[in-house]
Structure 1
Amino acid sequence: MADASTLKVYHLPGAWGLPTVSPFCLKLDAWLRMTGIAHEAITASTPFAGPKGKAPWIELDGQKLGDSTFIVAHLAARFGVDPDAHLTPAQRGTAVAIQRLIDENLYWTMVHDRWMNEANWRQFRDVVLGGLSVPARRLLGPVARRGVKKQLAGHGMGIHTAAEIATIGRRDVNALAAILGDQEWFFGAEPSSTDAIVYAQLVNIWRAPLESEVRRAIGQTPNLVAFLDRFAARYY
Structure 2
Amino acid sequence: MIRLHQFKRQWGIANPSPFCMKVETYLRMTGLAYEVIEEASPLNAPKKKLPYIDDGEKVIPDSGFIIDSLKASYGNPLDGGLSRAQQAEAHLMRRLCEESLLWPVVYSRWIDDSGWSVIKPAFFGALPPVLRDAVPWLAQRRVKRMLWLQGMGRHRPEEIYRLGIEDLAAIAACLGDKPFLLGTAPASTDAVAYATLANIIAPPIASPLKDYVLSQENVIAYCERMRERYYDAV
Please say if 1:52 is aligned against 2:40: no
Aligned counterpart in structure 1 of residue 188 of structure 2, from 193, 204, 216: 193
Residue in 2 that maps onto 1:125 = 120
Deviation, structure 1 residue 199: 0.3
Q: Aligned match of 1:167 in 147, 162, 165?
A: 162
Deviation by residue 1:97-139 (Cα, 9 ceiling, x = unmatched): 0111110111111100000012321211122235544444433
Q: 1:46–1:129: 8 Å Cα contact kept in structure 2? A: no
Tell me the distance in 2 between the aligned counterparts of 1:173 and 1:23.
Answer: 15
Question: How far apart, in 1, do the equivalents of 2:55 and 2:146 lie?
Answer: 30
Give the aligned residue type for 1:98.
Answer: M
CA distance in structure 2 between the aligned counterparts of 1:235 and 1:172, rounded to whole angstroms: 25
Q: Report the AA paired with residue 100 of structure 1.
A: R
- Judged with a 3 Å threshold, the aligned counterparts in structure 2 of structure 1 residues 188 and 226 are, in CA distance, closer, same or farther, namely same
Give how far 1:207 is off: 1.1
The residue identity in structure 2 corresponding to 1:204 is N
Report the 3-state secondary structure (helix = DSSP H, G, I; strand = E; otherwise coil) of the residue aligned with 1:52: helix
| Aligned match for 1:86, one of 78, 81, 88 | 81
For residue 153 of structure 2, what is the aligned residue in structure 1? 158
What is the one-letter code of the residue matched to 1:22?
A: S
Kept after mapping to 2: 8 A contact 1:185/1:227: yes
Question: What percentage of aligned pairs have identical amino acids?
Answer: 36
Q: Which runs of 5+ in 1 are unaligned?
A: none
- How many residue pairs get aligned? The number is 231
Which residue of the partner structure matches residue 40 of structure 1? 35
| Structure 2: runs of 5 or more not aligned | none
Structure 1 residues 39 and 223: CA distance shift in structure 2, 3 A: same
2:203 is matched with which residue? 208
- Correspondence 1:228 to 2:223: yes
Residue among 107, 129, 140 paired with 2:102: 107
Task: Give the letter for the 1:153 counterpart.
Answer: W
Q: Which amino acid is 1:185 matched to?
A: F
State the alpha-carbon separation in 1 of the partners of residues 22 and 87 from structure 2.
17
1:67 aligned onto 2:66: no
Asked if the contact 1:47–1:54 (Cα under 8 Å) also holds between the matched residues in 2, the reply is yes
Is this contact kept in 2: 1:57–1:65, CA < 8 A? yes
Counterpart-to-counterpart distance in 2, 1:190 and 1:70: 23
TM-aligned CA deviation for residue 82 of structure 1: 3.2
**48, 72, 84: which one pairs with 1:77?**
72
SS in 1 for 2:227: helix
Residues 155/75 of structure 1: CA separation in 2 closer, same or farther (3 Å cut): same
Task: Please report the TM-score for the alignment, with normalisation by the length of structure 1.
Answer: 0.94
Alignment check: 8 A CA contact 1:181 1:223 kept: yes
What letter corresponds to residue 192 of structure 2 in structure 1? I
- With the length of structure 2 as denominator, give the TM-score of the two structures: 0.94
Match of 1:27 in 2: 22
Shift of 1:224: 0.3
- Per-residue CA deviations over 1:6-57 (Å, capped at 9, x if unaligned) read x211111221101210000000010000011111101111111110111101
